[in-house]
Structure formats: structure tokens, C-alpha cells
Amino acid sequence: MSAKSTTRRSGRAVAQLLLRGAVGGTMIAHGMKHGRTLAGTANWFGAIGFEKPRLQAQASAVVEVGAGTALVAGAATPLSAAAVVGTMAVAARSVHIPNGFFVNVEGWEYVMNLAVASVALASLGAGPLSVDRATGLDKLLSGSRGAALAAGVGLGAAAAQLATFYRAPAPIAT
């Protein structure tokens, strides 16, 4: 094995670890915030059009912390990434898309980047310092299969959640 090949592999491992930490850590932080302010989060979910807003707030906190923790650990990475994709797709549809692209006006820039980074991570695999590597799961579900699983399951779950619980609120008359 050449030094160039070893350097490339170690660079990829660092990139995988950094991506897992950034996306997973962000999801944990968001989920913890929802959990700490559950009543306020439930009120917000109700105001943006979700039926059963308390259930939505609880589910959001659990899914975000759980998916984030699994991503940081590199555990079931394509499924963990799917949870992020689904969460971000729900956020995009229920809040961000009408506001345009840029995050400074509540646009969809931020949620799109987290979702795309999650699909990329599912494609790359969790890397050598991960639960997936230790269990051999990384050989089964990475590359195009991992990316397709993350995107497909995430978008499918988002569509189901939106169809079941979301009713866009009527526009405010001015």
C-alpha cells in the first residue's frame, strides 16, 4: 500500500468523523432544545399547523436526539441519516420553503444543507471509527444504497408525517 493511498484513506476517515460530529451534534442540540422547552415547542408546532402538537414536540425531541447520537457514534448511519432527512423535509415544507432560500429570513438553505450532508454521509459510510464498522454494517449499506436508503426513507417518512399531522394554516389577512 502506498503512502498516498494511506493518506487518502486517513483523510476520508477524518472527513467522515467531522461530518458525523457536525450533523449529529447539530441534531442533538436541536432535540435537546425542543425537550427543554416542550410546552413552548408544542405551542409552536400547533401555530404552524400540526395536529397533536405535544406529540409532535415530543417526537421531534426524541428523533433529533436519537438520530444525532446515532450519527455521532456512526451507528446505523443510513437510517440515522434518513431520520435527519425526514426531519429537515418536514421543516422545509412546514416552515422554510415559503420564505425563499436564505436562512437569515427563515429560508430553506439550512435544512437543505443538513439533509444533503446526511445523504452524503450515508453514501460515504460512517468510517473506521464507528459502530457500523465494528459490526460490519458499513459493508452492507454505504455508497449508492446507503444514499438511496437515507433519501428514500427520509422523504417517505416526511411525506407520511405531513399527510397525517400537518394542515397548512390559513394565511393571515392584512
Residues 17-61 pLDDT 10s: 999 999 999 999 999 999 899 999 999 999 999 999 999 999 999
CA distances from 145 to 54, 149, 156 (A): 35, 6, 16
Each residue of 67-76: pLDDT tens digit?
Answer: 999 999 999 9
- Beta bridge partner(s), residue 50: 166
Decide which of 95 and 6 is more confident: 95
Cβ atoms 69, 84 nearer than 8 A: no
Each residue of 87-121: pLDDT tens digit?
Answer: 999 999 999 999 999 999 999 999 999 999 999 99
